[in-house]
Amino acid sequence: MMTTKDKIIAIDLGGTSAKLAIVSTNGEILQKWSVNTVVLNGGKAIVPNLIESIQERMDLYQLTTEDFLGIGMGSPGTVNHIDLTVIGAYNLNWVETQNVGEQFSQAFKLPFYLDNDANIAALGEQRHGSGDNASDVVMVTLGTGVGGGIIVDGQIVHGNSGAAGEIGHMTIDKDSGIACTCGKIGCLEALASATGLMNLTREYSEEYSGDSEIKQRIDNGDELTAKDIFEASEQHDMFAKHVVEQFGEYLGLGCSHIVNMLNPSKIILGGGVAQAGEYLRELVARHCDNYIFPALKGKTEIVIASLGNDAALLGAAELVNDGKLVG
Amino acid sequence: MMTTKDKIIAIDLGGTSAKLAIVSTNGEILQKWSVNTVVLNGGKAIVPNLIESIQERMDLYQLTTEDFLGIGMGSPGTVNHIDLTVIGAYNLNWVETQNVGEQFSQAFKLPFYLDNDANIAALGEQRHGSGDNASDVVMVTLGTGVGGGIIVDGQIVHGNSGAAGEIGHMTIDKDSGIACTCGKIGCLEALASATGLMNLTREYSEEYSGDSEIKQRIDNGDELTAKDIFEASEQHDMFAKHVVEQFGEYLGLGCSHIVNMLNPSKIILGGGVAQAGEYLRELVARHCDNYIFPALKGKTEIVIASLGNDAALLGAAELVNDGKLVG
């Protein structure tokens, strides 16, 4: 029987679960499932569990390694995409170096590719989502933190120690007095993530004395989310509007640094906060425009991510496609 | 007679003169000369003059196109490295699109490559100077303005419209009140070029009342240069020291954006201001370190450019070497 090697195994490893998929080489998700991430005992069971789950699924679908071009995986932490190792993925309890590539190579006779989770999400959106396959694209993921993935000439930018794309830790307002989890003051992540929005909300609530339902709820000690603040701003709550404008100014300034430095076709806003959609997009684009070099105006489009969680799976699969291209 | 095609013609076009060289394919400058840039009449004579000068030199050294691998050139303005055109090079009077590549191709049966002057200087330093041939390097040129050239994976980053590397126009202090020539407020160029240093000097002189020779010279209406301010700072003039520290903080913050985003091996400081050497290097590295993501500390070295004007010529030659590599 002829085998075609037209399928890829894609893995998006996270702190609570790993998402897995069988993806066609042209980017169609054929099967998708997930596995709990067991972080006990230094996360030693994580990779064996993934391997076991893949073997089960291959049996279930009557597939063999002959059907696959390779395995592509995204991981949190500091990923060495050449040695295929991960270190410092604290939400996995992976403190020391993990030889992820070695474990996969022993289990499957298949090429294995590994990259950082923010990078593969950027690659997925660039190739199959809002990136429209443009060669230069930057993805900014707005969740609890601010992540970044940079694509130049169609390829992930890794930098000299695999840590390029720390967009969330650019110092955007050193005078803000708002501390970041990294220990610095005024990082983009401390000002313009979901957490950052709440930081700005708390700060402004101390000085605001006008009429505002949101402000009342804060004073009542209600737990608010980024979504609540954005919705109140859209409904013209003046307190929320001020906070969201400040958030937009910070994020717009951060995006302008990306535009001035890299002149990408698109900046793709993803993550939970990007569910605010067009309201967020217009906000960020408007502020960004104030800070970009005049000759660059209109050269970079700010767009909302379109693939959700599938971005990482499709990006992981693209690592395998690219590996095939280069050899 | 066998010909070897082991030579390259390199051109570094500037507003007052063009530097030209015959460079060996391994980066040795064999002959060097210059031609005045005639900007009259829309700069129409510039390219014909370059072509004539090259033909003269080839005759003089008894060389033919058979001895050359190609011609590489750097130009000010907005360069399209694919169409081989230049637009908006105002110091050359090139306001409209100039078909530079077409003119060279008609004159010589040789491959012709063209890029932005800041980009080829970065490529030259990366391959033959302080870049030590590291794959990821950013050059920051500190002259009248602040220029930038970004090398990722050994190649120039162009961005979607050929304008990547506008490092000088990142907004570094929007509250500074210092206007940039581009029309924005608080660009890196307005704060941390030679011009920027004088802007900071003037601003601080209005509020400084202590003892300072530099301050006295300003009050006397003496014309001061960036070199004067740096020298006075090294000699512990308290006024100059304050200004230079502020300059270093702005430039360090700008460099930290580069580090956090691109994680390069090196940031190379070039241009006239970089003649301050180790004093400048230590100043910028110290301030930069305060603003980089902790995990990135120690991963990027800040160094002073080593090739001077030859960087651009060697970078222009490398365009030809790379052209050969890809096809």
Which residues 124-143 in chain A show a CB within 8 A of chain B? 134-136
User: Which positions in chain B touch A154 (Cβ < 8 Å)?
Assistant: none
CB contact (8 A) between residue A295 and residue B253: no
Dist. CA A42–CA A96, nearest whole Å: 9
Q: Nearest by CB to A263, from B153, B161, B265: name it.
A: B161
Asked if A248 contacts A283 with a C-beta cutoff of 8 angstroms, the reply is: yes
CB contact (8 A) between residue B161 and residue A299: yes
Show the low-confidence residues of chain B (pLDDT under 70): 1-3, 325-327
To test the contact with chain A by mutation, choose from B260, B267, B299 the residue with the greatest count of A C-beta atoms within 10 A, namely B260
- Cα torsion angle, B307, B310, B315, B317, sign: negative
User: Which positions in chain B touch A134 (Cβ < 8 Å)?
Assistant: 160
Q: Which residue of A has its CA nearest to B299?
A: A161
Tokens of B325: 């590599």
Shortest distance, CA A59 to any CA of chain B (angstroms):
40
Which residues 221-280 in chain A show a CB within 8 A of chain B? 253, 256-258, 260-265
Dist. CA B119–CA B77, nearest whole Å: 12
Where do we find the tokens 């691998």? Answer: B69
pLDDT in tens, B195-223: 999 999 999 998 998 889 999 998 898 99
CATH value of A133-304 in 3.40.50.300, 2.40.50.100, 3.90.1150.10, 3.30.420.40: 3.30.420.40
CB contact (8 A) between residue A261 and residue B164: yes
Shortest distance, CA A153 to any CA of chain B (angstroms):
8
Backbone angles phi, psi at A103, to 5 degrees: -65, -40
Dist. CA B32–CA A248, nearest whole Å: 52
CB contact (8 A) between residue A166 and residue B258: no
Query: pLDDT-based confidence at A325, cuts 50/70/90?
Result: low
Q: Nearest by CB to B295, from A78, A293, A294: name it.
A: A78
Query: Domain boundaries in chain B?
Result: 7-116, 130-304
What's the start-to-end Cα distance of chain A, in Å?
Answer: 26
Shortest distance, CA B96 to any CA of chain A (angstroms):
15
Residue closest to A172 by CA, chosen among A144, A192, A152: A192
- 3-class secondary structure, A242: helix
Percentage of chain B modeled with pLDDT above 90? 90
Q: Is residue A2 over pLDDT 60?
A: no
CB contact B153 to A (< 8 Å): yes
**A233 membership: H or E segment, kind and range:** helix A226-234
- Identify residue B156 by its one-letter amino acid code: I
Dist. CA B162–CA B116, nearest whole Å: 9
Query: pLDDT-based confidence at A1, cuts 50/70/90?
Result: very low
Average pLDDT on A57-74 reads 96
Q: Is residue A327 over pLDDT 60?
A: no
Considering the domain A7-124 in this protein, what is its CATH number?
Answer: 3.30.420.40
Q: Is CATH 3.40.50.300 what the domain over B7-116 is classified as, yes or no?
A: no
Average pLDDT on A15-32 reads 96
Interface contacts (A, B; CB < 8 Å): 141
Q: Is residue A98 over pLDDT 80?
A: yes
pLDDT in tens, B263-318: 999 999 999 999 999 999 999 999 999 999 998 999 999 999 999 999 999 999 99
Q: What contacts A209, CB < 8 A, 6 or more positions away? A: none
Dist. CA A34–CA A237, nearest whole Å: 40
Instruction: Provide ipTM, 2 decimals.
Output: 0.94
Asked if B122 contacts B140 with a C-beta cutoff of 8 angstroms, the reply is: no
Q: Is residue A34 over pLDDT 90?
A: yes
Shortest distance, CA B257 to any CA of chain A (angstroms):
6
CB contact (8 A) between residue B264 and residue A160: yes
pLDDT the model gives residue B255:
98
User: Which positions in chain A touch B174 (Cβ < 8 Å)?
Assistant: 253, 291
Which residues 73-92 in chain A show a CB within 8 A of chain B? 78, 88
What would you report as the CA-atom Rg of chain A, rounded to the nearest whole angstrom? 21
CA B139 to mean position of chain CA atoms? 7
Tokens of A262: 């890299």
Dist. CA A203–CA A186, nearest whole Å: 13
Dist. CA A152–CA A194, nearest whole Å: 27
CB contact (8 A) between residue B293 and residue A163: yes
Half-sphere exposure of A10 (CA within 13 A, CB side): 34
Helix H, strand E, coil C: the string for A130-146 is: CCCCCCCEEEEEECCCE
CB contact (8 A) between residue B294 and residue A183: yes
CATH value of B130-304 in 3.40.220.10, 3.30.420.40, 3.40.190.10, 3.30.70.20: 3.30.420.40
Q: What contacts A228, CB < 8 A, 6 or more positions away? A: A214, A217
pLDDT the model gives residue B3:
61
pLDDT the model gives residue B4:
81
User: Which positions in chain A touch B265 (Cβ < 8 Å)?
Assistant: 160
Q: Which residue of A has its CA nearest to B139?
A: A261
- Does A133-304 match A7-124 at the fold level? yes
Tokens of B268: 């190379």
Q: Is B152 left (phi over 0), alpha (psi -120 to 50) or beta?
A: beta
CB contact (8 A) between residue B160 and residue A264: yes
Residue closest to B293 by CA, chosen among A123, A99, A145, A274: A145
Q: Nearest by CB to A164, from B78, B164, B262: name it.
A: B262
User: Which positions in chain A touch B153 (Cβ < 8 Å)?
Assistant: 155, 157
pLDDT in tens, A172-196: 999 999 999 999 999 999 999 999 9
In degrees, rounded to 5, the angle at the alpha carbon of residue B316 between the alpha carbons of residues B327 and B181 is 125
- Cα torsion angle, A217, A286, B293, B182, sign: negative
CB contact (8 A) between residue B88 and residue A291: no
CB contact (8 A) between residue B174 and residue A253: yes
